[in-house]
């Protein structure tokens, strides 16, 4: 059994599910999952978790992501990206760089987005994209999204290239469509690359062919990042044998707040005396105790 995280550079034309299925087949590990779906046409960083690392996915999904997006002005599609049918055309010739940057500034910070019909969000138990493919449109509730930084990288009309640093649940397709509506000409997401996902960077990501070669040569464990790679931004503590025993049995432990740290939502990483990652602890302010949230054996 091997536990860890693969930093895979997903190619265009391949679903995130297919990447997971490939890793599951090659590794023989039943517990395989990914953090953060990429659309089939999108490329870039897709963390794939194996074994006990699948239990850390929820924490990884709370980290920030960085995207580079090419947006074409003057055309809007029913999917918001290049796979859809054109539903609007507009004149973009009079849009200046200043007007574009002013519009982009509007989307920085906390914004509300309506999930696109072609998304995995569920409506009465069914993914929206299934309804959309059947020609059914339903009302969707807007959701809060956080855009930490939005930068105009290139500007050569009708194509504009932006880099976006955002939190979970942000739809870049919706951002492109909303930008087009604000500018009055329509727009769609022409291409998308995820440059970074939490601690995982595209410069270090491996291709599908590299993954397959590594499995064939049995060197693939060398590609795995440790389970705790996803939570290295949290404070860390080293516990003694008694505290380790308590944590392994799900019992809370008591430290000073300085020992555990009060950053990152009152969570910290716990390690044994020999340096093994023990688990994630969460501070209970009412009892002044650190409670085991995830324990790794």
The average confidence (pLDDT) of the chain is 91
Paired with 31 in beta bridges are none
β-bridge pairing 43-50 and 4-10: antiparallel
Confidence check: pLDDT of 263 > 60:
no
Which helix (H) or strand (E) is 258 found in, with range? helix 257-260
| pLDDT on residue 256 | 59
Q: Global pTM? A: 0.91
Q: Is the model more confident about 44 or about 285? A: 44
| pLDDT on residue 39 | 87
| pLDDT on residue 264 | 41
Confidence check: pLDDT of 1 > 70:
no
| pLDDT on residue 262 | 43
- What string of H, E and C letters represents the secondary structure of the chain? CCCEEEEEEECCCCCHHHHHHHHHHHHCCCCEEECCCCCCCCEEEEEEEEHHHHHHHHHHCCCCEEEEEEEEECEEECCCECCCCEEEECCCCCCCHHHHHHHHHHCCEEEEECCCCCCCCEECCEEHHHHHHCCCCCCCCCEEEEEEEEEEEEEECCEEEEEEEECCCCCHHHHHHHHHHHHCCCEEEEEEEEEEECCEEHHHCECHHHHHHHHHCCCHHHHCECHHHHHCCCCEEECCHHHHHHHHCCCCECCCHHHHCCCCCCEEEEECCCCCEEEEEEEECCCCEEEEEEECC
| pLDDT on residue 114 | 85
What's the rounded Cα separation, in Å, for the pair 104 and 102? Answer: 5
- 90-94, 140-144, 243-247, 281-285, range with the lowest pLDDT: 140-144
Is-contact 258 289, C-beta < 8 A?
Answer: no
| pLDDT on residue 59 | 93
39 in catalytic set: yes
What's the rounded Cα separation, in Å, for the pair 284 and 28? Answer: 39
Query: What is the set of domains in the chain, with CATH numbers?
Result: 4-63+199-229 (3.30.2350.10), 65-197 (3.30.2350.10), 234-295 (2.30.130.10)
Q: In degrees rounded to 5, what are phi and psi of residue 69?
A: -125, 135
* Catalytic annotation, pick one of 39, 177, 178, 228: 39
Chain mean position to CA 39: 12
Which helix (H) or strand (E) is 9 found in, with range? strand 4-10
Per-residue pLDDT band at 261 (split at 50, 70, 90): very low
Per residue in 108-166, pLDDT (tens digit) is 999 999 877 777 677 777 777 777 777 778 888 888 999 999 999 999 999 999 999 99
């Amino acid at each position: 059994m091997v536990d860890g995280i693969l930093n895979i550079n997903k190619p265009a034309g391949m679903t995130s599910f297919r990447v997971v299925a490939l890793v599951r087949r090659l590794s023989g590990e039943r517990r395989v999952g990914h953090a953060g779906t990429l659309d089939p046409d999108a490329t870039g960083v897709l963390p794939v978790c194996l074994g006990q690392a699948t239990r850390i996915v929820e924490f990884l999904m709370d980290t920030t992501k960085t995207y580079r997006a090419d947006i074409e002005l003057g055309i809007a599609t029913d999917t918001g990206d290049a796979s859809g049918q054109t539903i609007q055309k507009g004149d973009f010739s009079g849009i200046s760089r200043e007007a574009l940057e002013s519009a982009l500034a509007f989307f920085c910070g906390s914004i509300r987005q309506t999930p696109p019909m072609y998304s995995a969000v569920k409506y009465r138990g069914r993914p929206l994209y299934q309804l959309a493919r059947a020609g059914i449109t339903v009302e969707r509730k807007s959701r809060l999204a956080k855009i930490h930084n939005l930068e105009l990288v290139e500007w050569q009309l009708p194509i504009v290239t932006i880099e976006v640093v955002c939190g979970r649940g942000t739809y870049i397709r919706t951002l492109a469509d909303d930008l087009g509506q604000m500018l009055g000409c329509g727009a769609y997401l022409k291409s998308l690359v995820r440059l970074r996902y939490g601690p995982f960077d595209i410069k270090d990501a491996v291709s599908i062919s590299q993954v397959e070669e590594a499995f064939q040569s049995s060197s693939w464990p060398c590609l795995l990042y440790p389970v705790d790679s996803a939570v290295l931004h949290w404070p860390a503590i080293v516990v003694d044998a008694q505290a380790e025993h308590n944590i392994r049995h799900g019992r809370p432990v008591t430290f000073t707040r300085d020992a555990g740290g009060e950053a990152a939502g009152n969570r910290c990483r716990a390690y044994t005396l020999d340096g093994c990652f023990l688990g994630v602890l969460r501070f209970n302010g009412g009892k002044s105790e650190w409670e085991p949230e995830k324990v790794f054996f």
